[in-house]
Structure 1
Amino acid sequence: MADLHITSPSNPRLKELVALRRRRTREETGTTVLEGTEELTLALEAGVTPFAVYHCPELMQDYGPEAVEAARAAGATVVELSRAAFDKVAYREGPDGVLAKMPAPGLTWDEVELPAHPFVLLVEGVEKPGNLGAMLRTADAAGVDLVVAADCVTDWGNPNVVRGSKGTVFSVPVVATTRTEAWAWLGERGIAVVATTPDTETLHTDVDYSGAVAVAVGSEKYGLTTAALAASDHRVRIPMVGQANSLNVATSAAIVLYEAVRQRRP
């Protein structure tokens, strides 16, 4: 089948893509939008098939056509766009001419499968999509088995989460839930929660991460809630000697996760 071609920025297909920037539309349709050749390639390698791939030959880099062909082979509809049409749907600065309509990421609890000694990242109340995306990249690199978003302001399908994660939101199992459900689910499975907070004398290097464990971080402004800290098995802090009393949440998560990686190495 020949590719579809769209030259007009007012085409209804493009309006549908732009509408996916709204959370309500993403939730109603179960879809989201992904932009970037690298992100598309990672999603394909994770076994996620796009509904459609939109590409602009004028903007594509040398490796762009390969990603488009891989998506076509996986069963995606392929649509060629003019520069004006692609500019209508692109949401990144310096687009590379590849954009895809994707199934919204995220599992239900019933779909979660964990190994015998799971390694989990629990994120409570985070507001900024870029922070969620950055933590997903770290989780992917660290070999985290599941990332749980509890009472977070944004959703996993937010295009800026997808962008910040470099597409790893499609390769790392993710769940969105409430704090109460998250802690109950972990407790039922005997997964110890290590909570980050500046209000403790225990350093992040002083607890055991070798078994079934979840590292918990809180919102950018307030950190973990009092209820979350009370429900956790350990409270740890990252040593700091400067004037600021906290780190960026994504940085904090990375530091503690990699202490767990160090301890969990064979």
Structure 2
Amino acid sequence: MAEHTITSAANPRLKALVGLRRRRRREESGRTLLEGYDELALALGAGVRPRELYICDDLMADPSTQHDVVRAARDTGAEIVRLSRAAFEKVAYREGADGFLAVVPAVGTTPRELTLAEAPLLLIAEGVEKPGNLGAMLRTADAAGVDAVVAADPVTDWGNPNVVRSSKGTVFSVPVATATSQETFDWARERSIRVVAATPAATDLHTDVDLTGSVAIAVGTEKQGLTDAALAAADIHIRIPMSGKANSLNVATSAAIVIYEAVRQRGHSA
């Protein structure tokens, strides 16, 4: 596919790119933005096929070596568009832009469409509102080998550019799904997946319960935690020991602690 060049920051095509920062536009088009060389390389390795790739050599750290992802994207059928520095900086959504911005298909499915292992380890994030926390949980899920992450009653979408950015692209390497809380917990029950709810009010420590077999670790919002309905639907309640004055940890940190306890119990090693 032929390459194109855009030098003017007023080009109408750039306006369409900026529009993908809005959730409604992402949902209407089924596309989202992916910025960054490392993130793009990870996504390509996970099988993502970009529709368009916008590049700026002036912003690349090392154009002589980083063009490997340009070739890889071109091989998948992506349209390659070169931008001037001014044009790229108009569409870049993160600080320290490195000259790579792709338009990729939106990610996410429903829990019922997930393909799971025989005894999966899952993470359910109920109502988590901060894209940075969702991204951090995805990075943990990727590192720990979690089978899937389900956003229950989500406040944001998986294609939010800030979720993509904070996940370092792992939103494309970890299966993700979205559903209401009711649908999520009904699905878990139908699949005989034990739901382990992390809550400061629990009696059992996270190290004292069995986290092997089919397990979904459920975490809630920073302020309120899991809803009463989620706590009622859970099979087990656990807490992480706290010695300080604060009564809770950051939700992404809590999820990481419990996930790695599950990994330890399962005897997995990196």
2:99 aligned to 97, 122, 138, which one?
97
Matched residue SS, 2:57: coil
Of all paired residues, the percent bearing the same amino acid is 67
Q: Post-superposition shift, 1:108?
A: 3.0
Q: Which amino acid aligns with 1:52?
A: E
**8 Å CA contact retained: 2:152, 2:181:** yes
What is residue 35 of structure 1 aligned with on the other side?
A: 35
What is residue 221 of structure 2 aligned with on the other side?
A: 219
Aligned 1:30-109 pairs, distance under 5 A: 30-62=30-62, 63-109=65-111
- Mapped to 2, the partners of 1:69 and 1:111 lie a distance apart of 32
Give a deviation string over 1:186-213, Cα, whole Å, max 9, x none.
0000000000001021000011111000
Structure 1 residues 222 and 110: CA distance shift in structure 2, 3 A? closer
What is residue 234 of structure 1 aligned with on the other side?
A: 236
Q: Which amino acid aligns with 2:32?
A: T
- Mapped to 2, the partners of 1:108 and 1:127 lie a distance apart of 19
What is residue 18 of structure 1 aligned with on the other side?
A: 18
Give a deviation string over 1:166-185, Cα, whole Å, max 9, x none.
00101100001100000000
Structure 1 residues 231 and 147: CA distance shift in structure 2, 3 A? same
Matched residue SS, 2:33: strand
Q: TM-score, normalised by structure 1?
A: 0.98
Q: Post-superposition shift, 1:163?
A: 0.3
Which ranges of structure 1 fall in alignment gaps of 5 or more residues?
none
Structure 1 residues 181 and 110: CA distance shift in structure 2, 3 A? closer
Q: TM-score, normalised by structure 2?
A: 0.97
Matched residue SS, 2:5: strand
**8 Å CA contact retained: 1:202, 1:235:** yes
Q: Post-superposition shift, 1:65?
A: 1.3
Q: Post-superposition shift, 1:110?
A: 4.6
**Bigger Cα displacement from structure 2, 164-173 vs 109-118:** 109-118
**8 Å CA contact retained: 1:200, 1:236:** yes
Matched residue SS, 1:58: helix
**8 Å CA contact retained: 1:198, 1:246:** yes
- Mapped to 2, the partners of 1:264 and 1:155 lie a distance apart of 31
- Mapped to 2, the partners of 1:12 and 1:50 lie a distance apart of 20
1:145 aligned to 144, 147, 150, which one?
147
Q: Which amino acid aligns with 2:181?
A: R
What is residue 125 of structure 1 aligned with on the other side?
A: 127
What is residue 162 of structure 1 aligned with on the other side?
A: 164
- Mapped to 2, the partners of 1:113 and 1:200 lie a distance apart of 31
Q: Which amino acid aligns with 1:11?
A: N
Matched residue SS, 2:150: strand
Which ranges of structure 2 fall in alignment gaps of 5 or more residues?
none
What is residue 111 of structure 1 aligned with on the other side?
A: 113
What is residue 249 of structure 1 aligned with on the other side?
A: 251
**8 Å CA contact retained: 1:64, 1:98:** no
Q: Post-superposition shift, 1:2?
A: 3.4
Matched residue SS, 2:240: coil
- Mapped to 2, the partners of 1:143 and 1:135 lie a distance apart of 12
Matched residue SS, 2:205: coil
Give a deviation string over 1:53-84, Cα, whole Å, max 9, x none.
00000001224311111111121110000001
Matched residue SS, 1:244: coil
